[in-house]
Amino acid sequence: MRPDAIELRSVSRRYGTADGSVSALEGVSLAFGAGTFTAVMGPSGSGKSTLLQCAAGLDRPTSGSVRLGETELTALSERRLTLLRRKRIGFVFQAFNLLPSLTAAQNVALPLRLAGRRPRRAEVREALRRVGLAERAGHRPSELSGGQQQRVALARALITRPEVLFGDEPTGALDSVTGREVLALLRGMVDAEGRTVVMVTHDPVAASYADRVVFLVDGRVHGELAGASAGEIAARTAGLETSGAEAVPC
């Protein structure tokens, strides 16, 4: 059996608000095997982003533990957690989050600079080549299409060769054709490079690129599907929206 790249044990996350607290995650236990591609789905507000941020060390659970390989994230100081994140974790967002004043190559080189390394030109070129953008190295984000910007964001997330790549609706702002290009790249990173990918999505077609789909409802795991088609996933999510609504106490 392959080792787990990430394991969450009884993870809960509560947010304090003006009128009390909101429970975003409640006792979530999940493992993501090394070299696998998992999609996370669920209704809006079900805790998908919170799950990803806790798993990626961008947020801390209120209780429970998160392990990356052999490292217990919840035990790390802020500083060590930041260093670990820079080295071992990649994250891509729906809104790309590229720096507008930097070129594609400068954006891709940024994580290496943050890690105190001097980026080699060849290494930045190679990262852009892998996402099919070698010719766009000198372009700024505003000179690139949405799909190209997301591919720059992917190259930036991958330049440090992270063990796990997280995506929070990485194709949510893309049309279906460019979305599929990004999904095919993610799939290739898992198949050809053995990387681990965990991606939140609303789209059953996007989720069907994954090996496994985990469903969240009201901050809890509500079952999963393995090797499912887009049609099977769509049927399951349609049921979830209803069961999620029924679960709300009245």
Residue 28 C-beta: closest distance to Mg ion, Å: 15
User: In angstroms, what CA-CA distances link 235 with 39, 41, 153, 222?
Assistant: 16, 13, 32, 14
Cα–Cα distance, 120 to 159 (Å, whole number): 11
- Closest listed residue to residue 171, CA positions, set 129, 212, 203: 203
Q: Is 22 in the site for ligand ADP (CB under 6 A)?
A: yes
Are the C-beta atoms of 179 and 187 separated by less than 8 Å?
no
Residue 169 C-beta: closest distance to ligand ADP, Å: 8
For the segment 107-126, give every residue that binds Mg ion (CB under 5 A): none
Residue with Cβ nearer Mg ion (48 or 67):
48
Residue 193 C-beta: closest distance to ligand ADP, Å: 27
For the segment 28-47, give every residue that binds ligand ADP (CB under 6 A): 42, 44-47
Instruction: State both tokens at 204.
Output: 């059953």
Q: Of residues 49, 160, 178, 237, which one binds Mg ion by CB under 5 A?
A: 49
Q: Where are the alpha helices (DSSP H) in 3-103?
A: 48-55, 78-88
Residue with Cβ nearer ligand ADP (44 or 142):
44
Residue with Cβ nearer ligand ADP (22 or 205):
22
Q: Residues in contact with ligand ADP, total (CB under 6 A)? A: 12
Total residues found in the chain within this entry = 250
Unique residue bearing structure tokens 């891509």 = 92
User: What is the rounded (10 degree) CA torsion for 79, 69, 206, 29?
Assistant: -90
Q: Is 149 in the site for Mg ion (CB under 5 A)?
A: no
Q: Is 167 in the site for ligand ADP (CB under 6 A)?
A: no
> Rule CB under 6 A: which residues touch ligand ADP?
15, 17, 22, 24, 42, 44-50
